[in-house]
Amino acid sequence: MRLSTSLAFSTIFSQLVAGNAAVNWKSRNFKSLVTFGDSYTDESRLNYFITHNGSAPPAGWVDPANNNTASGGYTWARYVADYTKVNLYDYAVSGAVCSNKITPRWFSSINGDFPSVVEYEVPAYTADSKAYTSNGRPFLDIPPSETVYSIWIGTNDLGVDAFLTDSQVTGKTIPDYVECVFSALDSIYDNGARYFVVQNAAPLHLAPLYATPENGGVYAIQYPNTTTNGTETSYRMWETVTTVNDVYKYKTPYEVLIQKRYPGAHFAVMDIYSILEDIYYHPDAYLASPANVTGYIDQCDPTGLNCTRLPNQDSFMWFNSLHPSTKTDSIIAKRFIEVLKGQSMYATYWS
């Protein structure tokens, strides 16, 4: 009986703390959004690396809007900027992982590893924060009280050529990846950030690449030399993603409330997993008819070339075998705006 009472008190206390933390978000008028991540968020940054022989953009480079991203159109972050008129500063890079010291992934087009969050994206943001425009104004004129920072990373860290295929650096584990995310937040916090949205891992086992064969999974087709079958791959991915998200769920309040790792900061953990799962299992509420959550728009030959896009694109959850469609990204954007307003059923707030 005592244990049950203690557990109930703990649950009520956590709800009160999270509820009070959300109040602070409701009073904000955010004017800028700074994003870190991979191809789920990148607009044009990897394109710069590719077209400049692997060289990084200089400090003060303006990342142009792009309606032909990995989603087949605009990304969720661009939709947020369009819907709310906030200024978007996007440091995400397609192919990125949290750290190349954990799960490095080689990209021949730039003759190097994909630029990662810790080794490239955060330093690029820091450099921009010290840069000035030609008229002498700060390039990043983003007061901490008016700026929110988001990080959504993990799709590549947990996938092929990384943890899924046991390709991580020897001795590195899933907790190393999660701690890497918080170490990136350390650096951003030290540079003045105070409002953070941590987006958890997507339900990658539902994406066509990692889905079970009966649900349209194409892993064995795209990786014909694999020694594992599609069902085994899908279930391993499912287990990994849900484990990671449970760590985010408990580690965030521990670091914020117990360890006091980020004094004066405000956190929201956005449940991307549940948002995409809801679209997958209730597609008619989100997608045009006939809704399609197992197929995808961009159909290519076995070499990944000669691609054609299927019609009725607003009916698809996925653009290709791994990436959400631009329609799905527009839904994510609307949910993200709810997070910013402190009224999201898909977010938990901590201060």
Q: Name the token pair of 70.
A: 């990995």
* pLDDT, one tens digit for every residue, the chain (351 residues): 444 544 443 444 444 455 578 888 986 899 999 999 999 999 999 999 999 999 999 999 999 999 999 999 999 999 999 999 999 999 999 999 999 999 999 999 999 999 999 999 999 999 999 999 989 999 999 999 999 999 999 999 999 999 999 999 999 999 999 999 999 999 999 999 999 999 999 999 999 999 999 999 999 889 888 777 899 999 999 999 999 999 999 999 999 999 999 999 999 999 999 999 999 999 999 999 999 999 999 999 877 889 999 999 999 999 999 999 999 999 999 999 999 999 999 999 999
Domains and CATH numbers, the chain: 19-277+326-350 (3.40.50.1110)
3-state DSSP assignment of residue 27? coil
DSSP helix/strand/coil, 149: strand
Six-digit token string for 176: 């190393």
Determine the pLDDT at residue 304. 80
| The model's pTM | 0.94
What's the pLDDT score for residue 13?
40
Supply the DSSP symbol for 169.
Answer: P
Token pair 């899933």 is at which residue? Answer: 174
Q: How far apart are CA 45 and CA 95, in angstroms?
A: 11
Q: How many residues does the chain have?
A: 351
> What does the pLDDT read at residue 19?
56
* H helix intervals, 27-165: 45-51, 76-84, 122-129
pLDDT tens digits along 298-309:
999 877 889 999
Q: 283 in helix, strand or coil?
A: helix
* Cβ atoms of 270 and 263 closer than 8 Å: no
Q: In what helix (H) or strand (E) does residue 148 lie, and over which residues does it extend? A: strand 147-152
How many angstroms separate the CA atoms of 351 and 200, rounded? Answer: 18
C-alpha distances (whole Å) from 174 to each of 98, 179, 286, 341 are 11, 9, 33, 32
Residue (of 251, 286, 94) closest to 181 by Cα position: 251
pLDDT, residue 8, reads 45
Residue 24 is predicted with a pLDDT of 85
How far is residue 247's CA from residue 37's CA, in Å, rounded to a whole number? 19
CA dist 336 and 239 (Å) reads 25
Q: What pLDDT sits at residue 349?
A: 98
Amino acid identity, residue 305? L
> What are 61's two structure tokens?
């480079």
Q: Can you give the pLDDT at residue 225?
A: 81
What 3-state DSSP class applies to 157?
A: coil
pLDDT, tens only, 188-232: 999 999 999 999 999 999 999 999 999 999 998 898 887 778 999
- According to DSSP, residue 285 is labeled G
pLDDT at 3 (0 to 100): 47
- Please, what's the b/e burial string for 191-215 (b: 16 or more CB within 10 A of its CB; e: otherwise)? eebbbbbbbbbbbbbbbbbbbbeeb
